Structure 1
Amino acid sequence: MATERFEVQREIPAAAAKIFALLCDPNGHVAIDSSGMLQSADGDHVRQVGDEFVVHMDRESLNDYPIGKYDVTVIITRFEQDALIEWTVSGVIEPPIRHLYGYRLEAGATGTLVTSYYDWSQIGEQYRDTGILPVIPEAALRATLGILARTVK
């Protein structure tokens, strides 16, 4: 596994606070998902490290592993208001895989430079050679940024 992290950027013509508010909303994650796996979410807006919410998933959207519908708990691992949000998931697979997703927001020339990343460098050894990672391709991160731009417009 040579690459263990994808990172893509896009400048979005919206204030960081508006983008960050969407990223703190469990339903915001569903609204901007390009993979089709996120079906719905339950829980309150996140406000700090350790906050959690549940996402109802459908793996059939990727057509790669026949696990169908399942739930994951999103656990916030880093949180800096209007600047950084990162999370891991816990759910069907035990022990948890320990892959991370996140967004960094920085002032841009015409709005906010949004960096989306997916990092699986900290996964457990039992998952290294399984072929299940990365779960989503880099193109999905880029597509999600496009949906994010359209959503906060």
Structure 2
Amino acid sequence: MDQENVSATLTVAVPAARVFAVLADPTTHSAIDGTGWVREAVDQAPLTEVGQIFRMHMYHANRPIGDYQVANKVQVLDPPRAIGWLTGQEKADGHLEFGGWIWRYELAPLGPSETEVTLTYDWSAVPQSIRENIRFPPFGPEHLTNSLHHLAELVSGR
């Protein structure tokens, strides 16, 4: 695959600020996730600044130990227009290491009560050493669409 990112877009009938607030709350991420891998937030504080680290409990049946934890580093925080983070892990010595893939949400207000949401998963910065062990993207493109539909249900209170 020449393209090193995948995106999906959905319009939701709520203001951008409300969508942003849900995305900036790590406790909502398991409800939004389209793969079922994200479990619960370890760090439950809202995302408020670039560089902030937040950890999530995860589960993936194809891992040697199904349960694991990721560390995410906020890369983009432009309320209520964009939010994004790098995903990585904490090594045994406490050092954080990021793999080079980023999740990014772009919010475009279409009026006072409607927002176009674009979710992009970008792996263009993943080094070859990681690409030898992980196929990118590690999920089908429907994952992004599923996530946006989950987000729409969550922000609209359904």
What letter matches 2:66 in structure 1?
G
Partner of 1:55: 56
What letter matches 1:47 in structure 2?
T
Structure 2 SS opposite 1:3: coil
What letter matches 1:104 in structure 2?
E
What is the TM-score when the length of structure 1 is the normalising length? 0.90
For the 8 Å contact 2:71–2:90, the answer to whether it is kept is no
Shift of 1:148: 0.7
Partner of 2:141: 138
Shift of 1:129: 3.6
Question: Structure 1: any 5+ residue segments left out of the alignment?
Answer: none
Note the alpha carbon deviations across 1:90-139, whole angstroms, 9 max, x for none.
Answer: 21688531101010000126600000000000001212343432122211
Shift of 1:67: 3.9
Aligned residue-pair number: 150
What is the TM-score when the length of structure 2 is the normalising length? 0.87
Is 1:82 the counterpart of 2:85? The answer is no
Looking at secondary structure, tell me which structure has more strand per residue. 2
State, as a whole percentage, how many aligned pairs show the same letter: 29
Distance 1:92 1:75 in 2: 11
Partner of 2:154: 151
What letter matches 1:73 in structure 2?
A
RMSD: 1.8
Is 1:121 the counterpart of 2:124? The answer is yes
Shift of 1:5: 0.3
Shift of 1:42: 2.1
